[in-house]
């Protein structure tokens, strides 16, 4: 019963947020958007840039897995990557894309389950930290166009999270942190100790791979910059006057931070809400004629089109995928029971 209610909330809450955002759009603005000629070439470029960014994340994960000497082909990274990307949208139950990928590799490499989980955990952590680095870089070097209390709070929180992340990275590089009394203490914490323990174990496996980890971090930062470019191109293709690319480098990463909230499937709802608000408070000259929620919805359509590739993979291996999803659900339930 509790699991059913949580699933319903995951569906209804994002839909309620998006419905409210769309209802707040001026009907005249919507009419002007419908009447305006679209730049389909620019919109096509936006799709291409977003697709390349997503493909880079699959290559990033492939490098992580191969670093652990797990037999793994690049085409399998793309196959599982697209399936995982699809499940991030439709996996409203307990199985998301990350868990699916980990269980799938562990299924084929039964004696390397810990390493498989480590590759997915580290991939996600690096991706999130790279997102903070891109946002912090835009704030520090691009400059915040206008200073409002809300924007200052968002920027300060982002910079603080980036700094805390840097300290945590330095700490885990010290062997005494991952092996010793401090490690035992944090892994014994209620609720979060089990998750922290898995992450620490993952760090142990990758600690000495400095060159590969550096390359992967740069790849991750490039991904987030490319997604900002993609959304900038979407705005350019739909509207006449838009915020600058530099301002999008602040708007998009911060919106993606909001979209990273795990409760929402694919960040649905929280990403759109953040985009709508940040388009108003970030640009120095205002949002122009851009309607933030409509740009976010157009970007959502682009990502759904990319996720559609995962549908092709699903239909070609339905039985195998269903079996992995069932195993992932059991694994998730077991982890919840022990944490």
**Residue stretches of the chain with pLDDT short of 70:** 1-26, 29-30, 32-33, 90-96, 143-147, 175-180, 182, 192, 195, 198-199, 202, 260-268, 320-321, 323-339
Sign of the CA dihedral with 123 first, then 217, 161, and 303 last: negative
Range of the domain at 66: 38-338
Query: Is 159 part of any domain?
Result: yes
Query: Is 251 part of any domain?
Result: yes
Confidence (pLDDT) at 167 = 87
Q: What is the pLDDT of residues 49-76, one digit of tens each?
A: 999 999 999 999 999 888 888 888 898 8
Listed in sequence order, the residues at least 6 apart from 112 whose beta carbon sits closer than 8 Å to its beta carbon are 68, 70, 105, 106
Query: How are the residues of the chain apportioned to helix, strand and coil, as percentages rounded to the nearest 5?
Result: 80, 0, 20
Query: Is 6 part of any domain?
Result: no
Listed in sequence order, the residues at least 6 apart from 212 whose beta carbon sits closer than 8 Å to its beta carbon are 63, 64, 67, 206
Query: Is 312 part of any domain?
Result: yes
Question: Are 280 and 49 spatial neighbours (Cβ–Cβ below 8 Å)?
Answer: no
Confidence (pLDDT) at 94 = 39
Query: Is 311 part of any domain?
Result: yes
Confidence (pLDDT) at 327 = 64
Listed in sequence order, the residues at least 6 apart from 190 whose beta carbon sits closer than 8 Å to its beta carbon are none
Question: Are 138 and 246 spatial neighbours (Cβ–Cβ below 8 Å)?
Answer: yes
Confidence (pLDDT) at 47 = 96
Question: Are 303 and 265 spatial neighbours (Cβ–Cβ below 8 Å)?
Answer: no
Query: Is 27 part of any domain?
Result: no
Confidence (pLDDT) at 206 = 76
Query: Is 4 part of any domain?
Result: no
Q: Which residue has the tokens 């077991």?
A: 334
The H helix count followed by the E strand count for the chain is 15, 0
Number of domains in the chain: 1
Confidence (pLDDT) at 171 = 74
CA dist 223 → 33, 101, 137, 262, 265 (Å): 29, 20, 14, 20, 20
Q: What is the pLDDT of residues 23-47, one digit of tens each?
A: 666 677 667 667 778 899 999 999 9
- Tokens matching residue 175: 């062997």
Question: Are 25 and 294 spatial neighbours (Cβ–Cβ below 8 Å)?
Answer: yes
Sign of the CA dihedral with 254 first, then 271, 248, and 134 last: positive
- Residue 198 dihedral angles phi and psi, to the nearest 5°: -65, -40
The alpha carbon of 202 is separated from its chain's Cα centroid by a whole number of angstroms, namely 19
Query: Is 1 part of any domain?
Result: no
> What's the rounded Cα separation, in Å, for the pair 284 and 207?
42
The alpha carbon of 279 is separated from its chain's Cα centroid by a whole number of angstroms, namely 20
Confidence (pLDDT) at 217 = 93
Question: Are 210 and 223 spatial neighbours (Cβ–Cβ below 8 Å)?
Answer: no
Radius of gyration of the chain (CA): 21
Confidence (pLDDT) at 177 = 63
Q: Which residue has the tokens 């089990």?
A: 194
> What's the rounded Cα separation, in Å, for the pair 322 and 339?
26
């Amino acid at each position: 019963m509790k699991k059913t209610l949580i699933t319903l909330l995951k569906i209804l809450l994002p839909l309620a947020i998006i419905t409210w955002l769309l209802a707040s759009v001026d009907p005249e603005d919507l009419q002007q958007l419908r009447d305006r000629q679209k730049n389909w070439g620019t919109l096509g470029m936006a799709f291409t840039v977003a697709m390349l960014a997503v493909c880079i994340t699959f290559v990033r994960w492939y490098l992580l897995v191969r670093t652990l000497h797990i037999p793994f082909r690049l085409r399998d990274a793309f196959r599982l990557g697209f399936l995982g990307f699809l499940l991030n949208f439709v996996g409203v139950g307990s199985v998301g894309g990350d868990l699916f990928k980990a269980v799938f590799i562990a299924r084929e490499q039964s004696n390397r389950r810990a390493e498989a989980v480590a590759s997915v955990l580290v991939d996600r952590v690096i991706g999130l930290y790279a997102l903070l680095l891109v946002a912090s870089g835009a704030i520090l070097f691009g400059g915040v166009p206008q200073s409002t209390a809300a924007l200052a709070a968002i920027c300060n929180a982002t910079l603080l999270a980036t700094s805390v992340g840097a300290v945590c990275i330095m700490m885990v590089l010290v062997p005494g942190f991952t092996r010793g009394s401090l490690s035992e203490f944090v892994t014994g914490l209620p609720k979060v100790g089990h998750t922290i323990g898995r992450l620490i174990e993952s760090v142990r496996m990758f600690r000495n791979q400095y060159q590969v980890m550096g390359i992967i971090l740069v790849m991750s930062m490039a991904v987030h910059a490319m997604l900002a470019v993609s959304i900038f191109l979407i705005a350019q293709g739909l509207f006449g006057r838009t915020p600058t690319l530099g301002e999008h480098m602040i708007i998009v990463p911060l919106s993606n931070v909001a979209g990273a909230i795990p409760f929402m499937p694919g960040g649905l709802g929280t990403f759109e809400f953040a985009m709508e608000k940040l388009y108003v408070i970030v640009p120095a000259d205002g949002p122009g004629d851009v309607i933030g929620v409509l740009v976010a919805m157009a970007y959502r359509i682009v990502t759904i089109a990319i996720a559609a590739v995962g549908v092709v993979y699903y239909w070609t291996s339905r039985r195998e995928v269903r079996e992995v999803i069932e195993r992932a659900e059991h694994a998730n339930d077991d982890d919840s029971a022990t944490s």
